[in-house]
Structure 1
Amino acid sequence: MQKWVYTFGGGSAEGSAADRDLLGGKGANLAEMCNLGLPVPPGLTIVTTACSHFYDSGRVIPDALKDEVRAGIRRMERLTGRQFGRDSRPLLLSVRSGARASMPGMMDTVLNLGLTDETVQALGHDAGDARFAWDSYRRFIQMYGDVVMGLDHEVFEEILEDEKARLGHEQDTELSAVEWQHVVARYKETIEEELGEPFPQDPEVQLWGAIGAVFSSWMNARAVTYRHLHNIPAEWGTAVNVQAMVFGNLGNSSATGVAFTRNPSTGAKELYGEFLVNAQGEDVVAGIRTPQNLTEAARLAAGSDRPSLEKLMPDAFEAFQAICDRLESHYRDMQDLEFTIERGTLWMLQARSGKRTAKAALKIAVDMAGEGLISEGEAVSRIDPASLDQLLHPTIDPRARRDVIGSGLPASPGAATGEIVFTSEQAVHAQEEGRKVILVRIETSPEDIHGMHAAEGILTTRGGMTSHAAVVARGMGKPCVSGAGMLRVDLRNELLITQGVTLGKGDVITIDGSSGQVLKGAIPMLQPELSGDFGLIMAWADKTRRMKVRTNAETPADARAARSFGAEGIGLCRTEHMFFEGGRINVMREMILAEDEAGRRTALAKLLPMQRSDFVELFEIMHGLPVTIRLLDPPLHEFLPKTDEEIAEVALALAIDESVLRRRVETLHEFNPMLGHRGCRLAISYPEIAEMQARAIFEAACEAARLTGAAVEPEIMVPLVGLKSELDYVKARIEAVAKDVIAEAGVGIAYLVGTMIELPRAALRAHVIAESAEFFSFGTNDLTQTTFGISRDDAASFLSTYIQKGIVEQDPFVQIDFDGVGELIRIAAERGRRTRNNLKLGICGEHGGDPASIHFCEETGLDYVSCSPFRVPIARLAAAQAAYRNGG
């Protein structure tokens, strides 16, 4: 029979950290902490498969699950000595989500469940604090009314602000029990007025409502967006954790906090976090009150005069520090912890691997390897390859003048410049228009996930280092300054006001997430130096990986950048990109407009020295490393003018009649250029083009070898081959040119001729094509287009809908479609090597920089991947992780 519920608490648990897929991350780690004997409030976890059942059955909670939950609550009652729904020593519950992958703040939580008009009296009597009881009740009504009943939380906030203004209070803590009782009454009245139903007074009704709401939140907009951004499958579902409440708001001997066992921004080995006295957990995360430092060292560094937890509650701090050390050693990773101190007693509420910046991830991995906690291979496997992007972006030039207009907490490192926007919708709209923006908010919430993703950086006037903005920004690799209290945000008039300076929407600011400074205008930036921990991790990665990593480059700047990032050659040089620059395009047009072969050869003779000099420079930069050069690929009409003004300008430059030029443009027009006269088809129609390019390559190889002393072995790639006979025709022309150049130069030239596999027919007939091809390079951009019958340039209009509706999980132009396109690659690789066992195999599409696609390439046995220059470090790391996980 299906087991829906696993219990934990009292020193034991059904389950452990190994059951993450079933219990979710939170439930699995709560169980693990119980098994370790740590102080964890008892509770139960509803398994992730129940979430799928919930949706499959029309959002109905099955009776069998309800029975198991009731049994779990009876166990909690025995362990706590309290009773759920009773008016004497009431048991209150928290109901939280817990997916197998951490999704901080994306789904819903309900605290203090079980409070009613009767049990609130009992709670006050039991705690000896009526004010605490009524404050807890109003928190519960506000949370339940929003999460379960659907009344926006801002409605409750407005009521609370009205009451505080009426009473002359500034802080929530100033309200008395009677005043909180009045707020509760207004909350309940508003719910009944707005929703047409009373706030439920049956604790069991409350419980099923909260459980259903947590399941439902798996499909809310912010959770769906987060899953899409982090590649989390919708079918995983979420677990639900129901746990006995413990209270950090029971006076000055109580507290609640969030901590990391190491600094998540820098990676330094130091306890890092914040706490609040007499508060519940949401108070710390929301940043409504200014939090306090955990350690004396952190307090002194911050210049705070408010006592640290270490000083204020030394016994609880000592116990917490010991638990931090134990959990980090047990999990062999930096931990993100939540805790509550209830009248001096420490309770652990959560442990999970902490999110961190790329810089911190590198330092933590290197340090833990040095401490003997993990191996070098594990250190390499711990780094998210995509996170390396954070290290490849600019930082503020230290020599630049800084017009500082405010400062806050350095919540996520790096720097960003952009126009001010005040809403997430504005950020998304600006991104669509190609404008870079800084999202400026009083505080962010999970509803801002889309705007945070669209923005270059985030600035908030509230919140601490563990606020929503800080945690999410660090996970995204976005610079963030939080808690900039000296700045004031006027949302109504869309103004940012500080120190006599008023800035509006569209004004440019720069934020420095490493120092916490906010600066007026755009500030000069510097590229980072990739050394230290980065260099060490990459050295370990290079020892581990099997595949080579090349780059896609045709300009000297790109080639040099790629070499600085560790590229081991060029996997794709797109020669057509070389013809669009400066005066070259007119020579190219002259060749296209020629009436016969003689005219074309005259123009090609002008292009030859240009091509040759390009290739000499690339060969010199690569200094003996392999360089794969693709022959001209795009349709010829792309080089010709399109508008009347352009036609007139080109006709004048080439001294030809406009009507002649217009006729030639019309002649070359194609209804579907992607599948038209391009690739090897051009070389067959106009072999003189391929001959010119081959001569430029071979002559450049001779010259570069002479200049550098390093032998050059060019790889000439014939594009869009679908038939062996096509490749044979073009290859014969290349070989004839090679023979001529070798005779003229008096030196031998080693070279390879291969093809780009970008058509399904080529993949299926790979065993035949390999009789002539000495290498295959998989052009997965076009292979994806021709396999799906989808134009990459037009797919954005519907692929996002496909992803939202679950038709596809990933954009196939971002991550290889493993089942379709991937199967064609596997077939081509296997059949090609069956014919030619030393056939060199690589990939040069955009997928060459995607970590998941790189894992596929490792499993398929490819020799190398090729990607854009700034993704070379990502590819090096991903290739190492793929080899490590495959036992390499």
Structure 2
Amino acid sequence: MLKQVYQFDEGNADMKDLLGGKGANLAEMTRLGLPVPPGFTITTEACMSFLNTTKELSDELKKEIDEHLSLLEKKTNKSFEGDKDLLLVSVRSGAKFSMPGMMDTILNLGLNDETVEQLASLTEDEAFAYDCYRRLLQMFGNVVFGIDMQYFENYLTFYKQKHGVKLDSDLTGDDLKSIVTEFKRIILEIKKKPFPQSAKEQLHLAIEAVFHSWNNERAHIYRELNRIPDDIGTAVNIQLMVFGNSGDTSGTGVAFTRNPATGENKLFGEYLINAQGEDVVAGIRTPEPIEKLKNDLPAVYEEFTRLAHLLEQHYRDMQDIEFTVEKGKLYILQTRNGKRTAQASVKIAVDLVEEGLIQEEDALMTLNPDMISHLLHPEFSKVALEKAVKVSDVGLPASPGSAVGKICFDAATAKEWAAQGEKVILMRQETSPEDIEGMVASEAIVTSRGGMTSHAAVVARGMGTCCVAGCSELEIDEFLKRVVYPGGQLNEGDVISVDGSNGVIYLGELEVEVTETSHYFDTVMAWAKKHARLDVRMNAETVSDIKTGLYFGADGIGLIRTEHMFFGAERLIQMRRFILSNSYIEREKALKVILDYQMDDFKEIFETLNDLPGVIRLLDPPLHEFMPTKEEDIVLLAQEMNVSKNEIERRLKELHEVNPMLGHRGCRLGMTYPELYIMQSEAIIRSAIEMKRETGLDVTPEIMIPLVGTTKELSELKEKIELYLDALMEEEDINVFYRIGTMIELPRACLIANQLAKTADFFSFGTNDLTQMTFGFSRDDAAKYINEYVSKGVLPVDPFQTIDKDGVGELIKTAVEKGRSTTPTIKIGVCGELGGDPTSIEFFDDINLDYVSCSPYRIPIAYIAAAQSTIRRASNNE
């Protein structure tokens, strides 16, 4: 029979698929002899079996759990449901990939009305025992029975205020008995059944709840955001409880072996005396920095420092460690590779290599490509900061960055405003996992409670979102939707600026400026270029964008969109003159003027590119896009062109198309108006000729004909362009080497790629249109339903964001195989949006494309993803 439960001493770090990240690490630390409270793990396979069948624990699983519970009783010499020393356990989730706060945890499980008295007698501390019981009731009520945590929190706050109690730890045994009674009443009133007194029943219900939490909304959103599969499930870890809330020599904390915000090689973390772990993570109390533990419990601090170093050396990466101290004894509850900001990630990667702990390849694999873009974002300008008015400067710099937006006080509003195009700042007393959609939608997160390891801080760092936590001087009123600060009051919709690097909040909108990259970033990028097989080019046509791409190390340009060059006022009038002309001669006159503009553009591009390649796409959009649509603009154009308004309206009617995306555009324009493509090609080659004569620069232009669907379209247009350009170079008595290729963006083009390769000098996949044409989705309208498709599992991903491997991917793969069967050396790249997506890049690398092309600011992401793909493939082939 399939084994579904493992004792910690039966597993190891390589069993993450089965035991989840937490379970595998608990097993590994147990194997290393660290002070880990004993326990056992229910596998991810058991979770998926549960979710895919009856959604109830099977008799076989219950039997196996009972057997391992008996083993735990023997190891600890405690009893789960007996009269001797009381065994209490924690029940925690733990998927293969870290998902902080997204699934559920229950502590102190096993307590009931009788055993709480037993615990009080054993510990001689009634307040401690009933504090554990009220925590169990609160967590069980929320996680298992689905009761809103605010019912419990509101009563606890009311009771403390009524009795003049400031801290939870100041509550007496009698206080806590009263609170326990009320918590049980809340459960009975809302759930219509009492809190279960059987420890076994509690355990089974808790396990089921943790299994179910794999499919809760916040966990699903987090997986979607971080591209974690939905079908891997979560393990459940059952572990002996150790009590950080058992007095002044007890406590709990979370620490990182290096600073997760900056990457500094220094122990970084927080702890609370006389508290349980959820107090730190949930941000209910603002904790002390880990350094202070040296004064409070020096022996514990020394031991923790030693173990933290040991764990980092063992796992060869920065560790995020949860620990508890029970009456002076240290226990390690969890370790995992710590989530970190983009700034910290590159510094830690470089430092670990320089320290000899890992190799360059290992360092690159620790990086999250998407997060790297956060290093390139602007910061508040020094001039703006000199004049800025502070709202607060007492907050903790939980996740760096600079953000401006309108204040909102709940996740739903943040999501709604962001969907309307607003930039928002989510302000909460503290965040909870239920806030995840609002956090994702926000430019920054601000909390008045919690520390550097609170939920808000950890999740924000994982997302690369700016965050200021524990801003205690702010009175955030989520009900009245206002925040009171020392100098005044802010209301929902007011604009603030948030500096997550320094923990400061400013009034109004501050100006931002681009920052220079660091030595660590430059080092990482050099490694990525060294190890990547794919080249990375940029999509760019302005000098500013090209310089940005070159700064980030682009291997050239994969897409120059020439239509962007026609929209200047002087150019647009000539393009309209071309469109409105009734004869070839009139069109030629307009094109001669446009030719000069195009030459200026191409010379500037070639000069900036130097000797790097550049793919220039000939005009692609339909002609109606260059024409006015508003009445007043039509009248103005008629005056400028000296034609009647009726004449323009007649031409507009002729140009109208029911479905322009499938209409008169791309190479179809070139077939109808070959003089248009010949003019653009002439401008390209004349620019190259002038560059060669003036500077000696030998440019090799790559001319791309878009939207080809038949071999005749490509061969006829290429032949006309070549005849004209060859005659031009003969007339100029100079030779410029050029290539003419095609953009493959139609399914038919993929299927005849072997024929197209006989004519084309190169292929470049336009994945935006290819996806649109393959699915029959309008990329301009798909947003109305595509997210629902993804959330319902109709599609695994948005195919406009990540390659659809089964459909679009198969077409691309077919085209590559067919094209290279005809011309083995043909150069093939991608220039659509997917060229900057890490998952798509791995696919393009696997099918042996030559390059990907993306927007300039995504070039670092693409390089790292390409390097990781090469490293991963090499590792799999070993």
**Normalized against structure 2, the TM-score is what?**
0.98
* Amino acid in the other structure paired with 1:444: T
Other-structure match for 1:651: 638
Distance 1:706 1:124 in 2: 93
**Which residue is equivalent to 1:60?**
56
> Is the aligned partner of 1:246 residue 2:245?
no
Tell me what 2:472 maps to. 485
The aligned counterpart of 1:404 is 390
Distance 1:313 1:531 in 2: 38
- 2:6 corresponds to which residue? 6
Q: Is the 8 A contact 1:86 1:119 kept in 2?
A: no
Structure-1 separation of matches of 2:357 and 2:557: 38
More displaced stretch, 845-854 vs 649-658: 649-658
| 1:695 corresponding residue in structure 2 | 682
Q: Assess if the C-alpha contact under 8 Å between 1:572 and 1:629 holds in 2.
A: yes
Q: Which consecutive unaligned segments of at least 5 residues does structure 2 have?
A: none
* Matched-pair contact (CA < 8 Å) for 1:88–1:122: no
Alignment partner of 1:827 is 2:814: yes
- Indicate if the aligned counterparts of 2:496 and 2:509 stay in contact, CA closer than 8 A: yes
CA distance in 2, matches of 1:492, 1:611: 59
Name the counterpart of 1:619. 606
Range with bigger deviation, 788-797 or 647-656: 647-656
* CA distance in structure 1 between the partners assigned to 2:376 and 2:205 by the alignment: 47
Q: Residue 170 of structure 1: SS of its match in structure 2?
A: coil
Seq. identity, %: 52
Corresponding residue for residue 30 of structure 2: 34
Q: How does 1:603-614 map to 2 (within 5 A)?
A: 603-614=590-601
Q: How many Å apart are 1:45 and its aligned residue?
A: 0.7
Whole-angstrom distance in 2 between the partners of 1:60 and 1:155: 28
Tell me the CA shift for residue 708 of structure 1. 3.7
> CA–CA distance in 2 between the matches of 1:39 and 1:491?
42
Structure 2: how far apart are the matches of 1:601 and 1:291?
A: 75
Counterpart check, 1:863 vs 2:847: no
Match of 2:673 in 1: 686
- Name 1:589's counterpart in structure 2: 576
Specify the alignment match of 1:303 in structure 2: none
User: Secondary structure of 1:275's match?
Assistant: strand
Alignment of 1:716-755 (within 5 A): 716-755=703-742
Alignment match, 2:161: 165
Kindly report which structure 2 residues correspond to 1:107-186, keeping only aligned pairs within 5 A, or say none.
107-186=103-182
Write the distance in 2 (CA, Å) between the matches of 1:770 and 1:290: 65
Give the drift of 1:805: 0.9
Contact 1:510 1:521 in 2 (8 A): yes
Q: Which amino acid aligns with 2:268?
A: Y
Letter in 2 for 1:502: Q
Q: Which runs of 5+ in 1 are unaligned?
A: 296-307
Paired residue secondary structure (1:84)? coil
Q: How does 1:360-375 map to 2 (within 5 A)?
A: 360-375=344-359
Answer yes or no: is 1:204 the counterpart of 2:191. Answer: no
Q: What secondary structure does 2:382 align onto?
A: coil
Q: Residue deviations 1:470-528, cap 9 Å, x none?
A: 11111111111111111111223322221222121222111111111111112222212
Higher mean C-alpha displacement, 841-850 vs 877-886: 877-886
| Equivalent residue runs for 1:403-482 within 5 Å | 403-407=389-393, 408-482=395-469
The whole-number CA distance in structure 1 between the counterparts of 2:81 and 2:154 is 30
Which sits farther off after the overlay, 325-334 or 783-792? 783-792
Tell me if 1:323 matches 2:307: yes
Q: Does the aligned pair in 2 maintain the 1:623–1:708 contact within 8 Å?
A: no
Query: Which residue of the partner structure matches residue 304 of structure 1?
Result: none
Show the counterpart of 1:525. 512
User: Does the 8 Å contact 2:391/2:487 carry over to 1?
Assistant: no
Residue identity matched to 2:209: A
- Deviation string 1:328-380 (CA, Å, 9 cap, x unpaired) is 11110000000011111111100100000011111111011011111112112
**Given the superposition, is the C-alpha separation of residues 707 and 19 from structure 1 closer, same or farther in structure 2, using an over 3 Å criterion?**
farther
> Relative to structure 2, which stretch is displaced further, 28-37 or 706-715?
706-715
> Aligned-pair distance for 1:887?
2.2
Q: Partner letter of residue 790 of structure 1?
A: F
607-616 or 433-442, which deviates more: 433-442
Conserved 8 A contact 2:703-2:741: yes
What residue in structure 1 maps to residue 621 of structure 2?
A: 634
User: Could you list the per-position Cα deviations for residues 367-409 of structure 1 after superposition, in whole angstroms to 9, with x for gaps in the alignment?
Assistant: 1101111111211222111111110111122343232221200
Counterparts of 1:64 and 1:640, CA distance in 2: 72
State the aligned residue count: 872
**Match status 1:223 vs 2:219:** yes
Pairing of 1:494-573 with structure 2 (within 5 A): 494-573=481-560
Do structure 1's residue 873 and structure 2's residue 860 form an aligned pair? yes
The letter of the residue matching 2:5 is V
1-side partners of 2:526 and 2:518: how far apart? 10
407-416 vs 705-714, which deviates more?
Answer: 705-714
CA distance in 2, matches of 1:143, 1:635: 60
- The answer (yes or no) to whether the contact 1:262–1:271 under 8 Å persists in 2 is yes
In 2: Cα distance, 1:880 partner to 1:371 partner = 22
In structure 1, which of residues 315, 320, 334 is the aligned counterpart of residue 318 of structure 2? 334
- What's the offset of the Cα at 1:436? 1.0
Hey, what does 2:751 align to over in structure 1?
Answer: 764
In structure 1, the partner of 2:20 is: 24
RMSD: 1.2
Question: AA paired with 1:768?
Answer: Q
1:661 aligns with 2:657: no
Shift of 1:822: 1.3
Structure 2: distance between partners of 1:476 and 1:380? 19
Conserved 8 A contact 2:346-2:520: yes
Distance 2:199 2:159 in 1: 28
- Displacement of 1:32 after TM fit? 0.5
CA displacement 1:737-768 (0-9 Å, x = unmatched):
21132123221110000001111111111111
Partner of 1:298: none
The amino acid that maps onto 2:724 is V
Query: In 1, distance between residues paired with 2:621 and 2:465?
Result: 37
SS state at 1:444 partner: coil
1:87 Cα offset (Å) = 4.1
> Which of these residues, 368, 386, 402, is aligned with residue 384 of structure 1?
368
1:294 corresponds to which residue?
A: 290
C-alpha distance in 2, partners of 1:640/1:544?
Answer: 48
Give the AA of the match of 1:171.
Answer: L
Equivalent pair of 2:284/2:430 in contact (CA under 8 Å)? no
2:801 alignment partner in structure 1 = 814
Instruction: State the secondary structure of the residue aligned to 1:111.
Output: strand
Match of 2:254 among 250, 254, 258: 258
Query: Which amino acid in 2 is paired with 1:843?
Result: V
Query: Residue 88 of structure 1 aligns to a residue in which SS?
Result: coil
Cα displacement (A) at 1:58: 2.9
3-state SS of 2:107 partner: strand
Native 8 Å contact 2:700 2:737 kept in 1: yes
- The one-letter amino acid of 1:667's match is E
CA contact (8 A) 1:94 1:243 kept: yes
Aligned-partner Cα distance in 1 for 2:432–2:307: 30
SS at match of 1:472: helix
Q: Tell me which amino acid in the other structure corresponds to 1:188.
A: K
Residue number in structure 1 paired with 2:565: 578
Shift in Å, 1:559: 1.3
Report the CA distance between 1:718 and its aligned residue.
0.6
Say if 2:339 and 2:458, in contact at 8 Å, map to a contact too: yes
Cα offset for 1:662?
1.0
User: Structure 1 CA distance, aligned partners of 2:696 and 2:497?
Assistant: 47
CA offset at residue 561 of structure 1? 1.4
Q: Is residue 310 from structure 1 mapped to residue 294 from structure 2 by the alignment?
A: yes
Counterparts of 1:531 and 1:223, CA distance in 2: 34
SS for the counterpart of 2:14 is helix
Q: Does structure 1 conserve the Cα–Cα contact (< 8 Å) formed by 2:249 and 2:273?
A: yes
Deviation for aligned residue 1:596: 2.2
Query: Contact 1:695–1:738 at 8 Å: present in 2 too?
Result: yes
